[in-house]
Amino acid sequence: MNKWIIGARPRTLAAAVAPVLVATAYAGSNWEPIRALSALLVSLSLQIGVNYANDYSDGIRGTDDSRIGPVRLTASGLASPKSVRTAAIISFLFAALIGLTLAAATSWWVILLGALAINAAWGYTGGAKPYGYLGLGEISVFLFFGIVATVGSYYVQTEELNLQIFIVAIPMGSLACAILAINNLRDRAQDQIVGKKTLAVRLGDSGARKLYIALLISAHLFALLTLKPAVLLTLLATPLTWSLARGVVRGVSGADLIPYLAKTGKLQLAFALLFALGLII
């Protein structure tokens, strides 16, 4: 497989697709195909950009020198740090350009949200004091790949906001967080050694497992709080949710958690499809 595809971490891209899908479904007859596609491109570009940025920043810090998870471009030597950083910058610039077209068509405050998202994407592991090393990664993911991505995608299509779209956004934030949480649980022991104090490191093994399960449960609960009968369709995803939770409770760890990252991404996408269908009905 092409090294740049590997570096983009395809298993994490569900976190970019799901909020746009759900927001577009909630927009209903007011959805705008071109704006929906643009929002999707922005979301995907930001996700790919943050993946390259993390690869670069963790690579030059030496954090990825002994990884359990998938190959990283910088740490493995598959690509130079400069080229990985350039790939991140290009991804962010593409997101910014598409975002500018959306801002021009809707409201210029969209630019502010975009700038904050890019800054958060880079600051996760980049800069002098990366907040991902302080245990704040999950909060950022919840806000930007949950609330901002969902609410923003809805707004650029309808040019309106309401309370329910914020409720709709919470399951997307919870599941995006779950992807990061299972990733950090897998890397917890190594991160602790190198001084990367992720939330999993701060909570400890038991606490990190409880957090992951709580995120899965909260996604189902907040979907039901939309009070739309058809969103009961999301319960069809509970067998996969149960399978993931059961494995984590039983203590699956290290390299054995690698498949759980991909399965959590699949859960988010399946959940989003069911949620979207329920919102449309």
Does residue 216 contact residue 174 with C-beta atoms inside 8 Å? yes
When the pLDDT of each residue in the chain is averaged and rounded to a whole number, the result is 92
What digits encode the pLDDT tens for the residues 46-88?
A: 999 999 999 898 888 877 656 666 778 888 888 999 999 999 9
Query: Dihedral of CA 118/6/216/45: which sign?
Result: positive
pTM of the entire structure? 0.93
What digits encode the pLDDT tens for the residues 140-165?
A: 999 999 999 999 999 999 999 999 99
CATH code 1.10.600 for 3-280:
yes
Domain boundaries, the chain: 3-280
Tokens of 173: 């934030």
Cα–Cα dist 48/126, whole Å = 15
Query: Which residues fall within 8 angstroms of residue 67, CB to CB, at 6 or more apart?
Result: 75, 187, 190
Cα–Cα distances in angstroms (integers) from residue 138 to residues 46, 49, 64, 143, 277, in the given order: 16, 17, 19, 9, 27
Instruction: Give the Cβ contact number of residue 280 at 10 Å.
Output: 15
Cα–Cα dist 160/148, whole Å = 14
How would you write the pLDDT of the chain (281 residues) with one tens digit per residue? 588 988 888 888 888 999 999 999 999 999 999 999 999 999 999 999 999 999 898 888 877 656 666 778 888 888 999 999 999 999 999 999 999 999 999 999 999 999 999 999 999 988 888 898 899 999 999 999 999 999 999 999 999 999 999 999 999 999 999 999 999 999 998 888 888 899 999 999 999 999 999 999 999 999 999 989 999 999 999 999 999 999 999 999 988 998 999 999 999 999 999 999 999 98
Nearest CA-CA partner of 65 in 193, 232, 205: 193
Cα–Cα dist 54/180, whole Å = 13
Strand boundaries in the chain, DSSP class E:
none
